[in-house]
Structure 1
Amino acid sequence: MKVYDISMVIDDTMPVYKNLEVKKPKTIIRDTFENSNHYETSMLLDMHTGTHIDAPLHMIKDGQPMKTYKVEDFITKCKVLDFTDVNDKITINDLQKKDINRDDFILLKTKNSQTEVFEPNFIYLDKDAAYYLKQIGIKGVGTDGLGIERNQKDHETHLHLLGNNIMVIEGLRLKDITEGSYTLIILPLKILHTEACPARAILIEGLL
């Protein structure tokens, strides 16, 4: 059995979506041993920074927040699919080359995992490809991009997925993961009423 940590490191210098200042974590040192007898910090963290799970409320008015997921939803068999040959977006044609079935949880490995800076032209999931996955009936999809869509005015990729109770994970690190079947454990903080939540994600090989 082998365990892989596929989460982003959270710190003040990490890459964030579109390099937006509001998405950068801010660590605040409140007490040190120089001014007290203990050490304590606070962190200001956007719910969509680093590895995180999206809930329907992220894109759907009156959609469900994180409490919609049950704890067992965070432990599942999954398939890592290698799309490192894709240079722009993952299309239906790309997906049709892979073995994807109803109730699968798939993780999309792309060139995004090969860089530790935000790339404006990151690889994303095309809206028609998202609709295709909805039609198949998958239960979840994760990406190594800081977003699963790119510059979609109406957010169709998100809507096809979240609107059909398909869990979306963004910000995975899959550079060292080969295509195949794994057990995914992704545990968000127990924050129930937000539209997303940071999470620690691991893959286990040999536990199927």
Structure 2
Amino acid sequence: MEMTMKALIDLTHSFDHSMPVYPGDDCPEITQIARIAEDEYNEFCFRGGMHVGTHIDAPLHMVADGQPVSAIPVSRFFGRGRLIDARGSSEISVDLLKGARVERGDIIVVLTGWHERFRKADYFADHPLVTPAFAEELIRKEVSILALDTPTPDRHPFPIHKMLLGNGVLIIENLANVSSLVDHPSFEIVALPAKYQWDGAPVRVVAKPSP
């Protein structure tokens, strides 16, 4: 068991009160409401949106009658990972999929290197965006999830969000530590969100490299 656990790679940013948020969104508020010294236990209260830190977008986020996170079959959160190395690219284009052997049900993990700027002032500016052709190819291949180390695949009015979520492809944003996958050509992804009846949820994303 110890060897198996050591092999796991955590792709999730730690959640705290200083998490950067998408411009215009509310900042998370984390308040301690009980303390061991006075109450004999610790407890914290959280207030914030569902699209902070490493999180998953459900169809309801952009589709009027789309599924909330709680309605998505749990099997969708497990799958074979496919790393797409987009470092140095100004956009996430369909050319990056050449030779990737993408198949139905895969979880596509895109490495841009942007995760290294997560707490920097320019994190939400000038990051690579997903092209329509890239999104169309993922839809055609019937992948399960597109997971990014950037804050969003697109910008307002969010055409890529609507394309992917409208065709059943879930989106994970704000991955961490994705560069750790470069030396692992084969891996599985587990991305389990809280079972919220809303349009998104925090998610713990873990990669398990193949032996």
TM bucket by the smaller chain? 0.7 to 0.9
CA contact (8 A) 2:80 2:105 kept: no
Give 1:166 shift: 1.1
Which residue does the alignment assign to 2:201? 197
Q: Among the aligned pairs, what percent are the same residue?
A: 25
Which ranges in structure 2 are unaligned for 5 or more consecutive residues? none
Which residue does the alignment assign to 1:13? 18
Q: Distance in 2 between matches of 1:161 and 1:198?
A: 19
Which residue does the alignment assign to 1:54? 57
The farther-off stretch of 196-205 and 33-42 is 33-42
Distance verdict in 2 for CA 1:31–1:6, change over 3 Å: same
Q: Distance in 1 between matches of 2:181 and 2:116?
A: 12
Distance verdict in 2 for CA 1:29–1:48, change over 3 Å: same
Alignment of 1:150-189 (within 5 A): 151-153=155-157, 155-173=158-176, 174-178=178-182, 180-189=185-194
Return the match for 2:85 from 72, 82, 87: 82
Q: Distance in 2 between matches of 1:74 and 1:160?
A: 20
The count of aligned residue pairs is 201
Q: Partner letter of residue 39 of structure 2?
A: S
CA contact (8 A) 2:84 2:96 kept: no
Give 1:158 shift: 1.0
Give 1:194 shift: 0.2
CA contact (8 A) 1:111 1:123 kept: no
Which ranges in structure 1 are unaligned for 5 or more consecutive residues? none
Return the match for 1:69 from 68, 72, 75: 72
Q: Distance in 2 between matches of 1:104 and 1:21?
A: 31
> Could you state the TM-score of these two structures normalised by the residue count of structure 1?
0.88
Q: Partner letter of residue 182 of structure 1?
A: F
Return the match for 1:142 from 125, 143, 147: 147
Q: Partner letter of residue 38 of structure 1?
A: Y
SS at match of 2:204: strand
Q: Distance in 2 between matches of 1:85 and 1:99?
A: 22
**Cα RMSD after superposing both structures:** 1.9
Which residue does the alignment assign to 1:103? 105
> Could you state the TM-score of these two structures normalised by the residue count of structure 2?
0.86
Give 1:127 shift: 2.4
Which residue does the alignment assign to 2:124? 119
